[in-house]
Chains A and B, each alone.
Chain A
Amino acid sequence: MTTTTAVTLTGVTKRYGEVQAVAGVDLAIRPGEVVALLGPNGAGKSTTIEVLLGLVRPDQGDVRVYGDSPTNAIAAGRVGVMLQSGGIIEDAKVGELLDLVAGLHQEPLQPQEALQRAGIADLKGRKMKGLSGGQKQRVRFAMAIIPQPDLIVLDEPTTGMDVEARRDFWASMHAETAHGRTVLFATHYLEEADSYADRVVLMRNGRIVADGTSAQIKASVSGRTIRATVPGADLAALAALPGVRDVETRGDVELLQCADSDDTLRYLLANTLAHDIEVTSADLEDAVLAIGAEQETLA
C-alpha cells in the first residue's frame, strides 16, 4: 500500500499518575473519512487527541499524521484544530484573532471567508469576552478552517451549544467535509456520532472497544425491543416468556428486551390482549451501553 493514511496511532499508551488515560490504542484513519471518537468522560478521548496533535508525548507507541510527526504536519498547515475550551484570548476581537491565525499560516483562507463559513461575519469587531459559548465555538471553528487543512480535529465541538446551535454547527461542518476533508471529532453525544460520522470509534477506559460504521456497531448488539401495551400484564410472567431477556414498564407500556423477538411476538399475539405493538432494533445508545456492560463484566 502506498496510500498514506491521514492518521496512524500504533500502540499508544499514556499514564497520568495512577490513571491509565490511554491503554494501548491502534487507530488508522484514511483520508476523507469522518470519524467520531465516542465515549463517556474519562474514556481517554481527549488524551488520544492530544497525543495525535503532539501536545502530549505518549509513554509508548507511535503517531503519524500524513506519514509525518504531528508537529511537522501542523507546521505544514495540514491540520486544523478546534479544542474543547479555552485556547482564545478574551480581550482580543474576533477579527484580530482570525487575522493572527491567518498570518501564522502559509496559505490561509481569507479571514472574512472563514467568518462567513462559520456563520459569524457579523461578529468580526466584537471582543471574545462578550460572546456566548456557542459564538465562541464558532470562532474556534473559523480558526480551525483558516489553514485550509486536510485534517480537522475537533474535541467535543458542540459542548455548551443548544440544540439549534448544534444543528447549525454541523451544517457548517458538513460544508467543509464536502471538500473531501478528513475529520476526527470527539463527542459524548451519541446522536452526533450516529448522524455525522462515517465511522464510529468507541472508547472506554483508555481502549478502543468498538470500531465501525454506526450500523455495524448497532448490529454488534443482538436482539430487538418490543413495546406493547399489555392489559393486565404480569411482569414476572412476561419476563418468563420465550425469547425475553428483560422487562421494563414505562407507564402503561411494557418494554421487552428480546433475544428472539419473533417467538415473543407469536406468543403475545396468540395468548395475550397485547396491542399497539412496535418492534425496534437496538439504537446506537443501546449498543454503546451493551458494549459498556460487556466491558464491565470482563474487567
Chain B
Amino acid sequence: MNLDYLLFDIKRTLRNRRVLIFAVLMPLVLFLIFGASLKESDTEAGISAIAYVMVSMAMFGSMNATMSSGGVIATERDGGWNRTLRLTPLKPQAYVMTKVILSLLLAIPPMLVVFLAGMILGHVHLSAGQWISVALVSWLGALPFAGLGLVIGYVAKPDSVQPITGLTTMLIAAFGGLWLPVEQMPAVMKDVARLTPAYWTGLSSRSALSQSGLDMHALVVVLCWTVALGFIGLRRYRADTARA
C-alpha cells in the first residue's frame, strides 16, 4: 500500500459529499422499510429477525459503497491516469492494496449507521463483544466487493460503469440473500445464492451473532473471493495502458 496515494484518494472522496451521503442513506432507508414490518420477537435462522435484516442491510450498504470505487476507477482510467501511475515507481500490488483499503474505509459509514439504527430504533440487544465481532466480520465481508469494484472499474467505460455497478449490486444482493433471507428461498434459489459472494459474507456476519460461533468455512470462501477478484484487478491494472 502507498500511504500518499491513499491520502490523495481519501481527500478527493471526502470532497464528494453527495456520493457519501447517498451511500449512507440508501441502506438506512432500506433497513427502516424492511425492519418496520418485523416484531422484536420474530426470529430468522436462530437470531432475531431484526438483527438478521440489520446485518443484511449493513452488508448491502458496505457492498454498495465499496463497489462505487469502480466508477471512480473507470473515470480515472478514461482520463489516462493509469498511464501516469505506470510511469511512476508505484508497484501494481501497492495500487491494488491502496484501492482495496480505500474501499474498506468507504464501507465503514453505511455499516455503522445501519448498526446504530438497529441498536437505537430496532432495539437489537447484543453484548459489546457481539457488536465488535459482527462489525469486524461484516467489515471483512466488504473485501470481495472491493475486489469486484476494482474489476468492474477495469472492464467498464465511464458511461456504462454506473448501470453495470448498479445491476451487479442489485443482482448479488437479491440472489445472495441480502434482501430476502436465504432461508425463505426455494431450493434452486438457495443453490444460486451460494454462487454469490454476498451469500458467504452474509453467512459469516450472521454467524457472529449465532450460538454456534463464527462460520470459518464461510469466512474462507469470502477470502477466496477476495483473492481471486484482487488478482484479476491486478492483472487488469498491469495490462491497462490505454491512451487518454
Contacts and interface: CB of A to CB of B under 8 A. Distances in A.
Contacts of A77: 89
A104 B2 contact: yes
Chain A, interface size: which category? 20 to 34
Contact of A100 (B8, B15, B76, B83): B8
A87 B241 CA distance: 11
Given A101-B88, A103-B3, A106-B89, A92 B8 contact: yes
Nearest to B8: A100
A75 B84 contact: no
A85 B80 contact: yes
A104 B79 contact: no
A90 B11 contact: no
B128 interface: no
Interface in A99-134: 99-106
A226 interface: no
Interface string B1-26: 01111001001100110000000000
A103 B12 contact: no
Contacts of B81: 86-89
A50 interface: yes
Chain B, interface size: which category? 20 to 34
Contacts of A87: 79-81, 83-84, 244
A273 interface: no
Nearest to A70: B87
B241 A75 contact: no
B4 A74 contact: no
Contact of A83 (B5, B76, B84): B84
Contacts of B91: 75
Contacts of A55: 83, 86-87, 241
B89 A75 contact: yes
A269 interface: no
Contacts of B88: 74, 101, 104-105, 147
B83 A86 contact: yes
A76 interface: yes
B12 A104 contact: no
B243 interface: yes
Contacts of A147: 88
A100 B5 contact: yes
B12 A91 contact: yes
Contacts of B241: 50, 55-56
Contacts of B85: 104
A81 B88 CA distance: 9
Interface string B86-103: 111111000000000000
Contacts of A54: 86
Contact of A103 (B2, B83, B243): B2
Nearest to B16: A91
A81 B86 CA distance: 11
Nearest to B3: A103
A143 interface: yes
B172 to A, nearest CB: 28
A85 B5 CA distance: 22
A201 interface: no
17 contacts: A53-B87, A55-B87, A55-B241, A79-B87, A85-B80, A85-B244, A86-B80, A86-B81, A87-B80, A88-B80, A88-B81, A89-B76, A96-B8, A100-B8, A104-B4, A106-B89, A143-B84
Given A85-B244, A87-B244, A91-B15, 6 more contacts: A55-B86, A55-B87, A83-B83, A83-B87, A87-B84, A88-B79
